[in-house]
Amino acid sequence: MAILHAIIPAYVLSGFFVGFLVGMTGVGGGSLMTPLLIIIFGISPEKAVATDLIYASVTKTGGSIIHAFNRTIDWRIVSRLASGSLPASLITLVVLHILGLDSTAANAIITKVLGAALILTAIALIFRSWLMEAYVRRVGDIGAQKTARYTILTGVALGTLVTISSVGAGALGVTALILLYPKLPIVRIAASDIAHAVPLTLLAGIGHLMGGAINVGILLSLLAGSLPGIMIASAFAPRVPDSALRLVLAGTLLVVALRLLF
């Protein structure tokens, strides 16, 4: 009963909305949830990132189970990304700890990095087709060995960015994977990105938790909405086009980014 009293309806609805988007497109987790917690609910950036990372890990575990059941996850891609992202996340956490930033300085850095990451995410969403065409025209097939190497490097970039701002594993990760694996169906890319985000966000979230507590009631409320949302969307994702969702999401992210930066 105590757990039920901790559930907050507004956070449940927010969790369902974001979870549904993540399950459908592989995009929208930290890109939307962290700004929502900061701008709408007034949570400090530092605590918002920590809350979102733990929330994302549990939520994407639910999505990964459904995608695994549908056999849409490419575990080869997941392992390559993780081999770069997990060490990068750990190093980033150590650096942040060594710097010993106070909460005001940490919040300022997180807000700026978050705003920049949202703009990059929106650009990746809007110009995904153009980026793919330009990439194929200029680069073409880079070979299996280079593809594996660049996937690991993508993991390094994602591990660093996600650990600081909780943003990047979705749109930026999916866009990079589309460029690296152009022949792979989009549903397999989104599913692989979701599966990779589970250990990354868990590691980064635990690291942030060591620096301060999170609101358990808020976390439980978000999960109460996001787990049903991502499971429902993941079940229907293979049959639903995501182009309209991506454009709406990109516009939303640009507005949020400008709000954070200015």
Tell me the pLDDT tens digit for each residue of 156-169.
999 998 888 777 66
Angle of CA points 246, 13, 68, to nearest 5° = 60
Place of tokens 């938790």: 209
Residue 67, pLDDT score: 85
Residue 82, pLDDT score: 96
- pTM passes above 0.85: no
DSSP summary character for residue 237: G
Query: Which residues, in sequence order, are CB contacts of 180 under 8 Å at separation 6+?
Result: 142, 147, 150, 151, 154
The Cβ of residue 243 has, within 10 Å, a number of other Cβ atoms equal to 11
Q: How far is CA 202 from CA 42, 89, 118, 211, in A?
A: 24, 10, 21, 15
Residue 205, pLDDT score: 87
Backbone angles phi, psi at 169, to 5 degrees: -65, -25
Place of tokens 């692989």: 192
Tell me the pLDDT tens digit for each residue of 107-141.
777 778 878 877 877 787 778 778 777 776 766 66
Question: 45 pLDDT band (50/70/90 cuts)?
Answer: confident
Integer-rounded Cα radius of gyration of the chain: 17
Place of tokens 């182009």: 243
Q: Is the pLDDT of residue 103 over 70?
A: no
Query: pLDDT: is 186 or 71 the higher one?
Result: 71
Residue 250, pLDDT score: 75
Tell me the pLDDT tens digit for each residue of 47-69.
888 888 888 888 788 888 888 88
